[in-house]
Every structure is written in C-alpha cells, then in structure tokens.
Amino acid sequence: MTESVLIVDGMALLFRGYFASAYGGYIRRTSAGVPTNAVYGFTRYLLDAIRKFKPGYVVCCWDTPVKPFRTELYPAYKGNRPEAPDDLLPQFGLVRHVTDGLGIPNVELRGYEADDCIGTLAKRFADDREVYIVSGDHDLLQLVGPRTRVVLLKKGFGQYAVYDPETLLEEKQLRPEQIVDLKGLTGDASDNYPGVKGIGEKTAVKLLLEHDSIDGIIGNLDSLSGSVRKKIEADLDMLHLCRDLATIRCDVPLDCELDGCRWEPDEAVLRSKFLELEFESLMKEASGLLARIG
C-alpha cells in the first residue's frame, strides 16, 4: 500500500492548543517561566494525528507575519482579528523547534496564507498519494478530492470528522467546489468579508442545489424570488470579490517536494527538544510512535 501524506495546518493546531488550556486559566510554562501551553497542545494533536492516520510523509504549513495578497483585494480582510495574546507570541517560534525535532518541514511563503500552501501541496502530492489535511478550518473542505481527505478536529481530544467527496455531499449537500460559492454568497465573519447582504447559509445552499454555482445563479436571476434577486443584484461586485477571497490558491510557488517530507525523525534530536521544553510525558508518546516505524 502506498504511504500517505499528512499535511498539517500549523496555525489551526497551535491556536487550538493555546485556547484549550487558556480558557480554563491555565498557561503551561517551563521552570524558567517560558509559556508552552500552545506548543504542548499542538504537539499532542500532531502526534495523535500521526498515530491515527499513519502517514509516511508529514509537512506543516504556516501563515506568515506579512499581510496576505487578499488584503490587496479587500483591505478589511481579517481586519477583525485581535492581536495574539502575549503568552502566545513566543510560542510561534518555539513550535518550530518541535516540528524540526520531529523531522517535519515547515512550509510558508510571504504574501500567501497557510491554506494556499496546503492547497498547493495537496494538489501536488495527490497525483500519486493519499493526502490527509488536518485542521479545524471548514474553508479547507473545498480541497476534498478523490485522493484528498480533509480531517477536521472536533471537540474532545482525538475526535475527528473525516471528509471525502461522498461524506461531504452526504453531510453538507455540496461538492467541494461549491464550498467556495457558498462562502461567496454568505461571506465569512471570521475572515471579515460579508458576502451578499441578507443571504444566509440555508438560502445559499438552496440556491446552489437548484443552480449548481454562482454563475448558474446569476444566469438564472429571472427565476429567483423577487427578494433574493434584489439582494444578489445589489451585491454582485461583492459576491464576485468574496468568491475570490474564499478561493484557496493551489499554484503557490513552493520549494517543497515529496521526498523532503518523509517522516524519519531522529529520536536523539527529538528527545533534546522535548527535554528543553519539559515535555517528558509527550516524549513517551513520541518514543512509542518511533518504535513502530523503526
């Protein structure tokens, strides 16, 4: 059986790791006072995903501090995001120590988002491998394909929702490419773009089921109810813009090939990193995984 590829949405796992403990008021720290709760949570999620999906290759994608090209299209894009908590800031660098120790390449590119890097690598690797994308971001469902599964973290550690084309159609009533059109119609509050004012998800799904796509909807405006037609006509430019903002780019010029993503961590290096961060309990979990692939 051909070994699969695990593509990790680093920011999604890191933020989830931080808030999973911070909400309860607990910030894990080293004996020197360095905050590590986000990195610890990230590492737990990562090791569990590797244990669950047993990939032969692993790669981790990240956002960069530079504003993405989408802000040039729409300056308010993600403009509602608060600044990262002070306890999280030093952990953006620390988490790379863990991925380096695990022998996992970190992929990012100025001007693009982690989603674009994920989409590009998924398209590249799915030519001859099964690809699993681990995240908490539903936007990535547009990347689902015959050989690409999107794995969304659910509430409760180690719980996942795994989407292939059939599962997506059954649960969401939509094909992967229709996820983009759904976002174009409804917008995305977390990314701060509005879609068509007055069009919610229920109406948007109904329109897509009837007309297949945004282009199909626009080509059949005369068949829509008067109120829906007026809303779409009033926001046509925004509709097209939001569809563009929602589209994950799968042609990012990344210098990352499959051979460089083979998961062959060095236990001595990993042990050194984990001891530095005082992750003794996680070292036991990692050692167990390494023993299986050794």
Of 231, 246, 261, the domain-final residue: 246
Amino acid at 156: G
Domain containing residue 126: CATH number: 3.40.50.1010
Same domain, 20 and 145: yes
The total number of structural domains that make up the chain? 2
Whether 242 and 264 share a structural domain: no
- Identify whether residues 239 and 137 lie together within a single domain: no
Amino acid occupying residue 217: I
Strand partners, 145: 148
Q: Residue 242: inside a domain, yes or no? A: yes
pLDDT at residue 216, rounded to an integer? 97
Task: Decide if 34 is inside a domain.
Answer: yes
- Identify whether residues 138 and 195 lie together within a single domain: no
Domain annotation covers residue 197: yes
List all residues 6 or more positions away from 286 whose beta carbon is below 8 Å from its beta carbon: 47, 102, 265, 267, 270, 274
**Confidence (pLDDT) at 106:** 97
The one-letter amino acid code at 166 reads E
Mean pLDDT, each 10-residue run in order, the chain (294 residues): 90 94 86 96 95 96 96 96 93 93 95 98 96 97 98 88 97 97 97 96 96 96 93 96 98 96 90 90 80 61
Looking at residue 233, what is its pLDDT? 95
Q: Does residue 293 belong to any structural domain of this protein? A: no
Interatomic CA distance for residues 80 and 233, integer angstroms: 27
- If asked whether residues 79 and 100 sit together in one domain, one would say yes
For residue 240, tell me if it sits in a domain.
yes
284 in the same domain as 223: no
Q: Is residue 150 part of a domain?
A: yes
pLDDT reported for residue 51: 93
The verdict on 123 and 163 lying in the same domain is yes
Same domain, 161 and 228: no
pLDDT for res 21: 86
Give a yes or no: residue 229 inside a domain: yes
What's the pLDDT at 124?
A: 97
Claim to verify: residue 184 and residue 167 sit in the same structural domain: no
Q: Are 232 and 186 in contact (CB under 8 A)?
A: no
Burial of 57 (0-12, 13-18, 19+ CB in 10 A): buried
pLDDT of residue 8: 98
Same domain for 20 and 33, yes or no, is yes
Whether 294 maps to a domain, the answer reads: no
What is the CATH classification number for the domain harbouring 226? 1.10.150.20
In a shared domain, residues 123 and 185:
no
Phi and psi at residue 138, to the nearest 5°: -65, -20
**Same domain membership, residue 78 and residue 51:** yes
Q: Which domain holds residue 195?
A: 173-246
